[in-house]
Every structure is written in C-alpha cells, then in structure tokens.
Amino acid sequence: MQYHRPLLEGILVKRYKRFFADVDYNGKTILAHVPNSGSMKGCSEPGSPCRFTFDDSPTRKIKYTLQMVRSSQSWVGVNTQVPNKIVFEAFEKKLLPHWRKFNCGQREVAINGKTRIDFAFWKNRSRKEASLKDKIEFKSINLKKSKKKFHFVEVKNVSLSEDGTALFPDSVTERGQKHLKELIQLVEWGHSAEILFTIQRMDVERFAPADHIDAEYGKLLRRANKKGVIITPLLCHLTEKEVLLTKKTLPLLL
C-alpha cells in the first residue's frame, strides 16, 4: 500500500481518549486522529518520533492521521485500517501459496447477525484472475450444510513486541476471542479458516499470543491451532512511502 504522498514526521506529545494524539510538528502542536482502539502498549510513549499523513478533504474535521510511531529499534505501524488494505493487495498478487487456488473473494463478510469476518475466498471456474468484487449474501447461506466451501480469513494488526517476540493482543479483546470461536466453528463445518497477523514492525523474530495480557485469547488461539485454523504471522515492510506485506512468516510460539 503506497501513501499518496510521503509521510510527515514529528514528535508524539501524547495520545489520549484512544483516538486522538497531539503531535509536535515543526514546533507547532497539531491534532491527529489515531485509528487504533487498542492500548498501543510500547508504541505510544511521549517524545517518540512519529509519522503521519495529511488529508485536506473538506469532509474531514481532523486533517492529520497517525500512521507510525518509532520504538527503540523499529518504526511501528499503528493504523489498524492498513492491514485489510495490504491483505487485499496480497490476495490479488497471490502472495501466499495456499491462496493460489482461490480467484474470488469478498471483504467484510457477515456470516451471521453478530459477526463479520474480514475476508472470504473461494474458487470460481469461470473466472481467470483474482477479484474481490464478487458479492454473496453469506447470511442467507447455511454455512453448516453448504456444499460450496469457502476460506475465511480474519486479519489482526500486531504492534506489540517484547524481547524480539511480536505479541497479540495488546489489551483484552473479547471481540478477538469471538472471532476465534467463529473460525473454529467454520472449520468444524467443513470450511477452511485462517487468522492472519500483520506484524507492522521489523524488529521481531517470532510471534506468540500475549498470555500475560489476555490469557483467554491465548487459550483460544491454541485451540484454534489444534482444530485446524491456519495461523499466519506475516512481517510487514514499512517505509515513509509505503507499507507492504512480505512473504516472511514468523515462527509461531504456542
């Protein structure tokens, strides 16, 4: 994913009310939107270098958006809207070998009245190239009995790191726990399912659940692994011009 223009750089003054940050930019304090509902533990320290975008659209009340914060060893992507965009690009490029058999897909799939999964992929024999433009009303399908099988993918952004290990989540996530339960159920119904962790930092060597933050999530991730849910921790490459999902899958510590 390329930014429309190179990122601006400043110093993070403080993050507050989850979605706001004050940034020192060329000696002036500006207000930036923070598109991240997590704790941003380890990457929201006052005084940290940060990168942000500017959008002069008349519909925007806050013109700046926080994109990255510098930790001690790496830039860290904190915009949780980025992962789905780079996974969409990766699907079109067939980045992962097990995606190559799918040529159709859909984003924001409502599998029931309470849950949306980020992506569903499937095979359409009449289509030659990959596309995410097809539309299926998944709520009208009995996925438990459906003869047509789908590959469901839930995407999570990873920004937390400790001692070279990327960790998720950075705060207790009941929503994330629910997604894991749904993925397990989809596998039990004969579909395939995957949770893809986009690791928006480049100073880590392995991935693990953050049991000390959300023990229940770690327990469910291990259960999902045993049930056959694919767990894919992928490293991102970050620059001041773009964020790319790489093919580098980190070792999984469960």
| Arithmetic mean of pLDDT, 29-43 | 95
What pLDDT is stored for residue 137 in this prediction?
A: 84
Look at residue 130 and tell me whether its pLDDT is greater than 60.
no
- Residue 9: pLDDT band (50, 70, 90) is very high
Confidence of residue 127 (pLDDT cuts 50, 70, 90): low
Sign of CA dihedral 221, 223, 226, 229: negative
Q: What is the DSSP letter of 2?
A: B
* Confidence (pLDDT) at 126: 66
What amino acid is encoded at 85 in this protein?
A: K
Domain ranges of the chain: 8-77, 82-249
Does 82-249 carry CATH code 3.40.1350.60?
Answer: yes
Number of alpha carbons in the 13 Å side-chain half-sphere of residue 104: 12
The model carries a pTM of: 0.93
Closest CA to 159 of 88, 79, 66: 79
What is residue 120's predicted lDDT score, i.e. its pLDDT? 94
Q: What is the mean pLDDT of residues 96-121?
A: 90
**What is the predicted pLDDT for the residue at 57?**
87
Degrees to nearest 5, angle at CA 12 with 11 and 16: 165
What is the CATH code of the structural domain delimited by 8-77? 2.40.50.580
CB 51 within 8 A of CB 7: yes
Whether residue 131 is predicted with pLDDT greater than 70 in this model: the reply is no
- The reported pLDDT for the residue numbered 133 is 65
Pairing of strands 75-77, 64-70: antiparallel
Element (H, E) at 91: helix 82-92
pLDDT surpassing 80 at residue 132: no
